[in-house]
Amino acid sequence: MTARRATPARAASAVILTVGLLLSLGSCQEIPQSPTGSPSPTVSEGAGALGPSPSKSGSGSRLQLGGVTQYQTISGIGVNANVHSWKDGQLKPAIDRYTGLGPLVWRVIIDRGDWERTQLPGSPTDVDWNAYGKIYSTGKMADLWNTIRYISASPGQTVILNVMGGVPPWMGGSRILPDKEDYWVRTMATMIAYGRNVEKLDFKLVAPMNEVDWNGIEGPQVPPDQYVRLTHKLLERLDSLGISDIRLVAPDTADPSKGLDQYLPALANDPVVTGRLAAWGVHTYSGDLAGAPKRLAAAGINKPVVVTEFSGPCPGCDNGAPNPNDASTARASAVQAQKLLDQGASGLEFYDAWDGYYEHHGSMGYWGALSYDPSAGTYSPRWTFGVLAVLAQCVTPGSIRIQAAVSGAGADGASVFADPASGKVSVLVLGSQAGGPATVTVSAPWSGGLNSTVESPVGAPDAGGATPGPSAAFEQGSLHVNAPPTSLACYTGKAS
């Protein structure tokens, strides 16, 4: 993270910070199984928003941000969730582990987009709801609805419905044939309509394709002009079905630069699609956004950037190779998260929530922050689960990243997040390989009032190595920490 020099600021109110969670990548500890009782099958309110509305720092706010250099508003931390692991509810304890971390964004994956295996009769405008009902009420489609329903029953959870992998052979397989475009629209629109109208699920965010710039395996190869044409038609078809509140997370390219160089110009020319764009979705496994926030602003698209897939390295994990499950892998994910937040990402969805079978790879995937034991049908945390536990506490929906500077050999990076509405302030500190003293300086009107010694650490759940951390002290707007080696720590508090 590039250090930013803090400017002097007048004290207005005090903030006392305590350590919320600390992930010390030197030991990995198991966490107890979460409760498995089924929650009430109701859908949480606000399911259509990608995180809450941006907090405002007006006269009624607990934390004034006037004069503070502000960056992105956070939509939330989250995970990718493969519904093929549902297995008649066997997945519930794994979901419980995540919802226990607080509000999350879930990219719920249906793999592949081939549920209409044989083209149904009629023109693209003809819909045989009896035939589609049989498709959507069984098999992996039933797993999709059950997974969304169970996730949505917990407060504060946001769902993005994503279609991964190719389309049926008759539609093109690894691409979408031009004369089948309207049939793709029909199969997508009917799937969304069934989930909303028959299953009564209140999801409003859809990522209709995956890595359209890549190899035709992760998703169909769809060039920019066709991508815009397809999404435009899909939105119009949903409007005709009375579903006009769907918002897109797009284009979910594998290469951030291709998304900006090729897909952004095409999308910017279609006001219908950009008007219904909830967020710019992108994948990166290198920690590089390719300047996406600035590029979007220059194109006149005022939308948040959400990294819908990120992770440290996991060689061969798409094709059955075991997850390394070690400190270096977890640290790589933590470093990427810090970099992406510093580059302006509003949301981060870790890939993957749990191990599971992927149709488009034809094998088990082992990227999961939760490992799966097929003999027992149970899930256990890997090192990366601890990283997500810390991020979920520190990088909360509605908070705003503000200017800060980090110095000292003990930290490789730090970010500060402030929520004007609640008064919460969080400091995310990435300890260096050696650890040691570090200072994070906050540039804010109230920074001079940050002079209280941090009290006893908050007792937080032990989550895959995340434990309550050491105390630290604020002195005249600077947080002084003694960071453990290769640690990720979150210091949180509220304005007094």
Domain range 15-36+52-69+400-495, its CATH number among 2.40.128, 1.10.3470, 2.60.40, 3.30.450: 2.60.40
Residue 141 token pair? 């489609």
Question: Residue 448: which pLDDT band, with cuts at 50, 70 and 90?
Answer: low
Neighbour tally for 39: CB within 10 Å: 17
Residues of the chain with CATH 2.60.40: 15-36+52-69+400-495
**Closest Cα partner for 131 from 113, 117, 150?**
117
CA atoms within 13 A on the CB side of 205: 27
pLDDT of residue 34: 28
Question: Residue 6: which pLDDT band, with cuts at 50, 70 and 90?
Answer: very low
Q: What does the buried/exposed string (b/e) look like for 349-384 if buried means 16 or more CB atoms within 10 Å of the residue's CB? A: bbbbbbbbebbbbeebbbbbbbbbeeeeeebbbbbb
Which residue type does 115 have? Answer: W
Specify the DSSP class assigned to residue 89: G
Give φ, ψ of 57 to 5 degrees. Answer: -110, 50
Q: First-to-last CA distance in the chain?
A: 29
207, 248 Cβ separation under 8 angstroms: yes
Residues of the chain with CATH 3.20.20.80: 75-394
For residue 315, what are the CA distances in angstroms to 128, 266, 325, 329, 347? 44, 34, 11, 10, 25
Specify the DSSP class assigned to residue 446: T
Residue 397 token pair? 């929906």
Largest interatomic CA distance in the chain: 72
Q: In this predicted structure, which of 89-103, 195-209, 281-295, 454-468 has the lowest mean pLDDT?
A: 454-468
Query: What is the tens place of the pLDDT at every residue in 470-490?
Result: 666 667 778 888 888 888 888
In CATH terms, the fold of domain 75-394 is TIM Barrel (3.20.20)
pLDDT of residue 40: 27
d(CA 226, CA 246): 20
d(CA 158, CA 148): 10
Residue 371 token pair? 């490992």
Q: Tell me if residue 488 falls in helix, strand or coil.
A: strand
pLDDT above 70: percentage of residues in the chain: 81
344, 287 Cβ separation under 8 angstroms: no
Specify the DSSP class assigned to residue 40: P
Query: What is the tens place of the pLDDT at every residue in 135-178?
Result: 999 999 999 999 999 999 999 999 999 999 999 999 999 999 99
pLDDT of residue 15: 36
Query: What is the tens place of the pLDDT at every residue in 357-407?
Result: 999 999 999 999 999 999 999 999 999 999 999 999 899 999 999 999 999
pLDDT higher than 60, residue 454: no
